[in-house]
Structure formats: C-alpha cells, structure tokens
Amino acid sequence: MDRMAVIARCRKCGAPLDRTNQFCPACGTPSELAFPVKHEDAIREFGHHEAVLQNYRAMFLVSETFTASLAATRANVPGSGPLVAVLAAVGIAWLAIWIIVTVLRARVVRFFEEHDEDGALMRYHNSVERPAHVAGFWFFTVVFPLTFGLLWLSLLLFAYRVV
C-alpha cells in the first residue's frame, strides 16, 4: 500500500487504512464511524430495540387479525356495510401505522448494528443474518400489509354486495 492511499490509522490496532476497505484489514474494526457506540452498549441496545421491533410487529398482526375477523363475521349480515367500512378504516389506518412504526424502529436497530465500534454486529449481520433480515423486512413490511390491504378491499366489496 503506498503512502498516498493511506487515509488514517485504525483507532483500535493502529493498522493503516485506505479508502477501499470498510473494515480494518488487521482487526475488523469499521474504518469510519460518525457516532461510535461501545460494543457492550451496542449489543445491549441492539437486543432491546430488536425485541421491541418484534413485539410491535406481533401487536400489529394481532390487532389487524382481530379487526379483520370481526369485519368478516359481519360482512354477510344485511345492513352491516357501514360497520365493515368503519372496521376497514380502522384496519387500513393500522396498516399505515404498522408500516411507519416498524420502518422507524428498524432504523434504530440498524443504527446500533452499523455504529458498533468493534464492527462485530455488522460483520455478523453481513455474514450470517442478511437473508433473514431481508426476508423479515419484505414479509413484515410489504407482504403482510399488502395481504391485509387486499383482505380489507375484499371485505368491503363483499359487505356492500359488489361481488
């Protein structure tokens, strides 16, 4: 490595760093962090916020399922169109809140992954959990809300005898 390519030294082991590496080639510490977080703190906060994220997803799933099942039981009753419409409005509002809250909470989880001073959380994420994280994002933030959105549309159409 020539002297012009070296931009800094690793804050952990002192090895020379260049622009091409995200992590120190000697010890694996991230090469630059805007807000480094001590590894112990990052692990604790990551675990806490990941658990909160999963709890939010579970709560939204239960509330959507309950509201949709209540609407489904009333959809076939004559004159219950307005009730189903109200339940659909509540369910669709929950969908919007679900997406916003889980995306914002996932950003907090990612912050602690990316700003761990040792880089261990991000290396673990990149090498082991990347497919699970991507699948979880698509499943809980895209597929489930889309499925419930289609369910609400079909319940409304059924309640108002359109189909």
What pLDDT does 126 receive?
Answer: 83
- Please give the model's pTM, rounded to 2 decimal places: 0.69
In the chain, the DSSP E strands lie at 6-9, 16-18
| Share of residues in the chain with pLDDT > 70 (%) | 91
Sequence-distant (6+) residues with CB within 8 A of 90 are 67
Tens of pLDDT along 30-44?
Answer: 766 556 788 899 999
Q: Give yes or no: residues 46 and 120 share one domain.
A: yes
Q: Give yes or no: residues 8 and 46 share one domain.
A: no
Tens of pLDDT along 42-80?
Answer: 999 999 998 998 899 899 999 999 999 999 998 888 888
Which of 90, 94, 93, 106 has the alpha carbon at shortest distance from 138?
106
Q: Give yes or no: residues 154 and 80 share one domain.
A: yes
Which of 41, 160, 29, 31 has the alpha carbon at shortest distance from 111?
41
Q: Give yes or no: residues 63 and 4 share one domain.
A: no
Q: Give yes or no: residues 143 and 102 share one domain.
A: yes
Q: Give yes or no: residues 104 and 28 share one domain.
A: no
| pLDDT-derived band at 1, boundaries 50, 70, 90 | very low
Tens of pLDDT along 78-97?
Answer: 888 999 999 999 999 999 99
Which tokens belong to 49? 């916020």
Domain that holds residue 99: 37-159
CA–CA dist 59, 44 (Å, integer) = 23
Q: Give yes or no: residues 85 and 18 share one domain.
A: no
Q: Give yes or no: residues 12 and 44 share one domain.
A: no
**pLDDT averaged over the chain?**
85
Q: By the 8 A CB rule, do 16 and 6 touch?
A: yes
Q: Give yes or no: residues 77 and 150 share one domain.
A: yes
Which of 120, 99, 121 has the alpha carbon at shortest distance from 110?
121
Q: Dihedral sign for Cα 63, 68, 69, 75, please.
A: positive
Which of 124, 125, 116, 122 has the alpha carbon at shortest distance from 33?
116
